[in-house]
Amino acid sequence: MSITTLMLGWEFPPFISGGLGTACYGLTKAMSRRGMQVTFILPREKPIRLAGGSSDVGKALAREMPNVRIRAVASHLSAYGKYGPQPVRPVTAAVEAELADEPPTGEAATYGPSLEKEVFRYAQRVMRIAQRETFDVIHAHDWMTFPAGVAVAASTGKPLIVQVHSTEFDRSGEHVNQFVYDIERQGMHAAARVITVSHYTRNVVVSRYAVPPTKVDVVYNGVEQATGSPPLPHSAWPTRSEKVVLFVGRITMQKGPEYFLRAAKRVLEKLRNVKFIMAGDGDRLHGIIEMAACLGIGHRVFFTRFLRGGDVQRVYQMADLYVMPSVSEPFGIAPLEALQNDVPVLISKQSGLAETFRNALKVDFWDIDEMANKVVAVLRHPPLSEMLRVNGRRETLRFRWEDSAAKVNDIYRRVLHVA
């Protein structure tokens, strides 16, 4: 039996702003290679034709993923965009009444800035699409799509699987947004199965959301395996007088940029010939720029803002060390990408990757002295750097999206009770 999936996400290449889009792309592409049929519903501010039409984007995706159809719906949903950390009101009867008065899809409308209204408006539009689609299971990625998944499951009787890439406790620490938490909890409890990207996140789901442990499956993320020639070894690169330490990620509380800067100051007290690159955008960006200046290291820290495509690979290839100092990281794909570009990595122990990856240096995010000591050790001792590069790059081969897709397929079959 070939299983058909109605998949709900909020970003997908080439429309991508973070790790969720990378994960959705890798998993969906691998599912297509396995012959699994997927209809992926993608919110977009401007409706576009992605499947079966003349769009260059649609044609490229159709060639790459022949078993995947992308359905775009008009929506302002954004994973890390303009809504940011603004407060949202609890969903009330009044909010639902406002939604009921909204014009249907296709009519001109100026969508309001209220995040909770946009989430439920998206759910309504997904419901209309679902009525015209044939599918066996619903697969919803992270909280913004959970209300849509719950609604479609309730109206069709099809089983819902939710995949948790990040929780509100990862994004906000103990200062959770109650609206978001309630949606996450409702989605997890309504689902037939919950998929988490690590045991680290599974523990959060069980302890913070009261989800039965027997209901939660761990499916690690993968990384797109490099094709063609391997990257040029660092030993063959032109000699540089300065070392480069790299941070790639959103400049938000979750990713620990403050700890990266404090460790950078400690490093510069021991080594003068080091530059630090911070690649990414986020709500803490301007504060972090000011912090670098206040620490007296602003002239050694370079901010590139958000990078795409080839620029990401180029910045990796400039680096002597990649650091992921996350306060709470459900998995962490970026270190695997760094290793594929022959860059050794130092990662936070508070990450899903740390529980399963051996060939990386690991440190508690808050221990800036130990973080600095390990940075200095890699920059000062080429044999250590070489060992981490070679063994780490080899270990990335264990993280294949094909394996992730196979596990997801097994979960579908268990839910549907098919052999």
- pLDDT of 243 reads 96
Q: Between 12 and 318, whose confidence is greater?
A: 318
CA distance 223 to 401: 6
Which helix (H) or strand (E) element contains residue 193? strand 193-196
Whole-angstrom distance between the N-terminal and C-terminal Cα of the chain?
8
Q: What is the mean pLDDT of the chain?
A: 86
Name the residue ranges covered by the structural domains of the chain.
4-222+400-416, 234-398
**Domain 4-222+400-416 identical in fold to domain 234-398:** yes
- pLDDT of 77 reads 67
Q: How confident is the model at residue 227 (pLDDT cuts 50, 70, 90)?
A: low
Contact 184, 168 (CB under 8 A): yes
Give buried/exposed letters for 199-221 (b at 16+ CB in 10 A, else e): ebbbebbbeebebeeeebbbbbb
Q: Over the stretch 79-138, which tens digit does the pLDDT of each residue have?
A: 544 434 333 334 344 433 433 434 333 333 322 357 788 888 899 999 999 999 999 999
Contact 111, 118 (CB under 8 A): yes
Q: How confident is the model at residue 225 (pLDDT cuts 50, 70, 90)?
A: confident
List Cα–Cα distances, 118 to 84, 145, 187, in angstroms: 14, 11, 17
Rg (CA), the chain: 22
Proportion of the chain above pLDDT 90, given as a percent: 71
CA distance 111 to 307: 28
Q: How confident is the model at residue 241 (pLDDT cuts 50, 70, 90)?
A: confident
- pLDDT of 42 reads 87
- pLDDT of 166 reads 95
CB proximity list for 258: less than 8 A, separation 6 or greater: 284, 288, 291
- Can you give the pTM of this predicted structure? 0.86
Query: Smallest Cα–Cα separation from 154: which of 186, 117, 195?
Result: 186
Is the pLDDT confidence value at 197 over 90?
yes
CA distance 176 to 406: 34
Is the pLDDT confidence value at 75 over 80?
no
CA distance 113 to 98: 13
What is 234-398's CATH topology?
Answer: Rossmann fold (3.40.50)
Give Cα 244 distance to the centre of its chain.
25
Mean pLDDT, residues 331-356 taken together: 97
CA distance 8 to 107: 23
Q: How confident is the model at residue 40 (pLDDT cuts 50, 70, 90)?
A: very high
Classify domain 4-222+400-416 by CATH number: 3.40.50.2000
Strands (E), 79-126: none
Is the pLDDT confidence value at 39 over 50?
yes
